[in-house]
Amino acid sequence: MASSKKLIYKFCPMCSTEMVSKVSNDEASQVCPKCKFEFWNNPKPVASIIVHEAGKVLLLRRANEPLKGAWCLPGGFIQWGEEAAEAVIRECKEETGLVPDVCSVVGAYNIDNDPRGMHIDIIFEGKAKGSIVLSEEHDDYKFFEVNELPSVIAYKHREAIGDWRSGT
Ligand SMILES: [Zn+2]
């Protein structure tokens, strides 16, 4: 599986001056020598959900690159000003048509295997109502027994399902 690519700004996104690399206290950043804009390349927050029914977990198969063909939980990027729990409900509706009743957070996972960048995935669990209608982001879905998960699962979703299972 591809690992995360580090994002580098060659030019300042604020004033277009060439950026300079900086390391202080072992923390690497890029700084604009003109306007002092500093880019930290922090991980982006993502929210995902383990939708379960009778102990089985809903996974979706990615229809597009990156990670095309890999199975994953419903989820996506948290938007500006949005709570993680709001984001996971919105993304689950968009991707599956299901409305989840978010129960609790399973954990926060450092996603270092997504070629788009480094992410922190806040993973919830809950049940969901409705009938499944996939978006164009996925081409298949299935409720899997936890001991019969598919071999290729994206991100840290296999670990999260394991943690959820061992905590119940
Ligand atoms: Zn600048």
Domain spans, the chain? 7-41, 44-166
Ranges 20-24, 61-65, 141-145: which has the least confidence: 20-24
What pLDDT score does 87 carry?
A: 97
Confidence tier at 81 by pLDDT (50, 70, 90): very high
Distance (Å, whole) CA 93 – CA 97: 4
Residue 39 alpha carbon to ligand 1 centre in Å? 10
For residue 66, is the peptide bond before it cis, meaning its omega torsion is within 30 degrees of 0? yes
Q: Nearest-5° angle of CA 132, CA 114, CA 78?
A: 60
Residue 7 alpha carbon to ligand 1 centre in Å? 17
Whether 168 shows a pLDDT value over 70: the answer reads: no
Residue 116 alpha carbon to ligand 1 centre in Å? 24
Residue 38 alpha carbon to ligand 1 centre in Å? 8
| Predicted confidence (pLDDT) per residue in 108-161, tens digit | 999 998 888 899 999 999 999 999 999 999 999 999 999 999 999 999 999 999
> Average pLDDT of 7-31?
91
Q: Which amino acid, one-letter code, is at 18?
A: E
Question: What would the DSSP string read from start to end of 79-133?
Answer: PTT--HHHHHHHHHHHHHS-EEEEEEEEEEEEE---TT--EEEEEEEEEEES---
Q: Is 44-166 assigned to CATH 3.90.79.10?
A: yes
> Average pLDDT of 96-111?
95
User: When comparing pLDDT for 26 and 81, which is higher?
Assistant: 81
Task: List beta partners, residue 61.
Answer: 71, 140
Residue 73 alpha carbon to ligand 1 centre in Å? 39
Residue 164 alpha carbon to ligand 1 centre in Å? 45
What pLDDT score does 116 carry?
A: 87
Residue 108 alpha carbon to ligand 1 centre in Å? 33
